[in-house]
Amino acid sequence: EIVMTQSPATLSVSPGERVTLSCRASQNVGSNLAWYQQKPGQAPRLLIYGASTRATGIPARFSGSASGTEFTLTITSLQSEDFAVYYCQQYKNWYTFGQGTKLEIK
C-alpha cells in the first residue's frame, strides 16, 4: 500500500498570508495525485488533480506542484473560507489518502 504522509498536522496562519502544505508518497506515484478541501460537516471538495491542475471552479490562489514523491499545495492570500482540512490522495495504485493538514486561523 502506498502511504501518504502530510505535514504539518496543523498550521496556524493569518488571513492574507501565503501557505504551503506538504504531502509525501512512500513510493513513486508520478502525477497521480489529488488535493481535497474539507470543511466541518461537509464532504471533501476536489481542488487539484494531476498534481497541478485546478478542478473546475477552484480559484487561482490554489496551486499544486510536485517534485519526485513530494507534493505541495500552495494557497496564496488566504481567505477566511480557506480555513479547513486539506487531504492529498494518490491514485497510482488504488487509492490512499494522507491524514490531513488542518489550516487554522492564527
**Residues near other proteins (CB under 8 A):** 1, 32, 34, 36, 42-46, 49-50, 55-56, 87, 89, 91, 94-100
**Cell 490522495, located at residue:** 89
To the nearest whole angstrom, how small is the minimum distance from the Cβ of residue 40 to other proteins?
Answer: 11
**Comparison of 14 and 103: residue with beta carbon closer to other proteins:** 103
To the nearest whole angstrom, how small is the minimum distance from the Cβ of residue 99 to other proteins?
Answer: 4
Q: What is d(CA 102, CA 71) in angstroms, rounded to the nearest whole number?
A: 17
Q: What is d(CA 24, CA 65) in angstroms, rounded to the nearest whole number?
A: 12
Q: What is d(CA 52, CA 83) in angstroms, rounded to the nearest whole number?
A: 20
**Comparison of 54 and 78: residue with beta carbon closer to other proteins:** 54
